[in-house]
Amino acid sequence: MIPAMRPVIVAGNWKMHTTPHDAGELAVTIARRTHEPDVVRVLCPPYVCLAPVRDALAADPAGQDVGVGAQNVHDHLAGAYTGEVSAPMLRGLATWVIVGHSERRRDAHETDEHINAKVRRALEEGLRVILCVGEQLDEREDGHAETVVDRQIRRDLEGVELSHQRAAEGTWLTVAYEPVWAIGTGRTARGDDAARMAGTIRAALGDLGLPGGGDLTPVLYGGSVTSASIDEFLAEPSIDGALVGGASLKPDEMAGIVARAALTARARREATPPG
């Protein structure tokens, strides 16, 4: 049974695309094309586009329930860190933040220690965290996928407050399983692969003391998601949506993904006994 409190989420990661000139218009177009009250929608533009996207969504009725997220956050509150953005700087600009994306781990050499600090800082500022975990191709081929993801979850959340009170405040933590070998390569995981890894993620969360043993935590799939591939993942009861990359820049693609997510959300709600 899927806990009634677990939302279905579609988050779009725009990466290094759009400018302050066109980001707001794109955000509103997507909001209008994806107006589904049963789906939590989040758009994560580049830092320089956060304010234009926030303002454009707030000014349009279709966009007022769309969340705005940052793609990264620094692990210090302030300091001599040229080019970085801290959690307090995001206050008022975003309500969500992606932490530990595979491209950050790879290109910026972020360690689990750094990611753990980022999670802490984000939560201190009241940001909702989308924590990304996932294995490399060689790790999967060597049979270590579950071990890698289990280790990432435990290290990234070590010592993070996991109280019932924080859980009751809302979806403070969402985990995105993103197999690194399936991002931008044309390869995709299978639905049962993602479901098995979601089980690994929730088992680790339960061991860390997360309320509900991890069963209340949404787990998204993120690995070259498109409107054509999303069905296989949302058919799995343990997968609660998607972290969408390139397709999130295309209104038609987002419309298809969110429409499928809405069907999943409604079916799950109808299947959940009252109370």
Residue (of 234, 216, 199) closest to 39 by Cα position: 234
> What are phi and psi for residue 267, nearest 5 degrees?
-65, -40
Q: Output phi, psi for 145, to 5 deg.
A: -55, -50
Three-class SS string for 65-105? CCEEEECCCCCCCCCCCCCCCCHHHHECCECEEEECCHHHH
Residue with tokens 């307090």: 88
Catalytic residues, by residue number, are 101, 178
Distance CA 13, CA 247 (A): 9
Instruction: Name the residue among 110, 106, 108, 152 with its Cα closest to residue 131.
Output: 152
Q: How far apart are CA 230 and CA 36, in angstroms?
A: 16
Terminal alpha carbon distance of the chain = 13
